[in-house]
Amino acid sequence: MKTIYKLILIATLVFLVGWQTNKANMILTESVHIDKVGERIAFISSKFIDTPYMARTMKGSPDDKEELVINLDGMDCFTFLDYVEALRLSVRVDNFIENLKKVRYFNGEVNYAKRKHFFTDWVSGENNTVRDITSGLPGATTVEKIINRKSDKTNCLKNVPQTMRMVNYIPGNQVSKDVIKLLQTGDYIGIYSDKQGLDVTHTGIFIKNKKGEFFRNT
């Protein structure tokens, strides 16, 4: 089993050589000394500023085998957070690959049905690397939603279970200066959706520096 694992890992690393490895190594080398989590996230995410937005980079569907995609040259708002969080947890490229699996999939299992398709998937289940602090912020409210369930009660995503969740969010008219003061650099943010079956429509990272407060996203 160990031999098979090593062969798979080597094959993955060979696939990355000459394409993404140098960029991942550079980011990890430059960020490994940053101890504060928020500052590390801010630094890593800054390396993707001006990276082109690219939709549908994932490979897999209910009918096709899922493949682990690593594309640091084009990403959407969800894969942007995947890469930043996986790099934040890593010190080497092989760490990054394994951490990306854990961040992107439940139990690190590369499978379409196990993919964390929704933002609240990041804080559901076990072995999460992040936690939801929304309920502790001023103006926060909670709504019960059935994630992945459309108004006609069918699935938004085929072969992905419908899940009842309590979704915490802050209404737009409640996002005050007091709320912003409590946010910290490196906080992951989701823009709440009132549509049935969805939790958020967009994601990004909160950055606070000498120039002000920013929502870094793709």
> CB under 8 Å to 28, separation ≥6 — which residues?
87, 90, 91, 92, 93, 96
Which helix (H) or strand (E) covers residue 216, if one does?
Answer: strand 212-216
Listed residues 72, 89, 122: the one ending a domain: 122
The answer to whether the beta carbons of residues 59 and 122 sit under 8 Å apart is: no
Q: Which two tokens stand for residue 99?
A: 């951490």
Q: Where are the alpha helices (DSSP H) in the chain?
A: 2-16, 21-31, 37-46, 77-88, 93-104, 177-182
Phi and psi of 166, rounded to 5°? -95, 110
Query: Among residues 122, 144, 178, which one ends one of the domains?
Result: 122
pLDDT at site 10: 45
pTM reported for the whole predicted model: 0.89
What angle do the packed helices 21-31 and 37-46 form, to 10 degrees? 150
Contact predicate 54/72, CB 8 Å: no
> Last residue of some domain: 77, 92, 122?
122
Q: State how far Cα 78 lies from the chain centre.
A: 5
Give the count of beta carbons closer than 10 Å to the beta carbon of residue 192.
21
Q: Does one domain contain both 111 and 148?
A: no
pLDDT tens digits, 82-140: 999 999 999 998 899 899 999 999 999 999 999 999 999 999 877 889 999 999 999 99
Task: Check whether residue 102 and residue 184 sit in a common domain.
Answer: no
- Quick: pLDDT tens for 7-31: 445 455 444 544 577 889 899 999 9
Exposure of 165 in the CB half-sphere (CA atoms within 13 A): 22
Check residue 8 and give its pLDDT.
Answer: 47
pLDDT tens, 166-200? 999 999 999 999 999 999 999 999 999 999 999 99
Determine whether 140 is exposed, middle or buried from the number of CB atoms within 10 Å of its CB (0-12, 13-18, 19+): middle
Cα 3 off chain centre by: 30
Q: Are residues 105 and 163 in the same domain?
A: no
Token pair, residue 207, equals: 């950055």
C-alpha dihedral over 124, 99, 30, 7, to 10 degrees? Answer: -170
Q: What angle do CA 7, 10, 16 make, to 5 degrees?
A: 145
Gap between the Cα atoms of 29 and 39, Å rounded: 15
Domain count, the chain: 2
Which token pair is 171?
């209404």
Judge whether residue 163 has pLDDT over 70: yes
Residue 205 covered by a domain = yes
Same domain for 10 and 96: yes
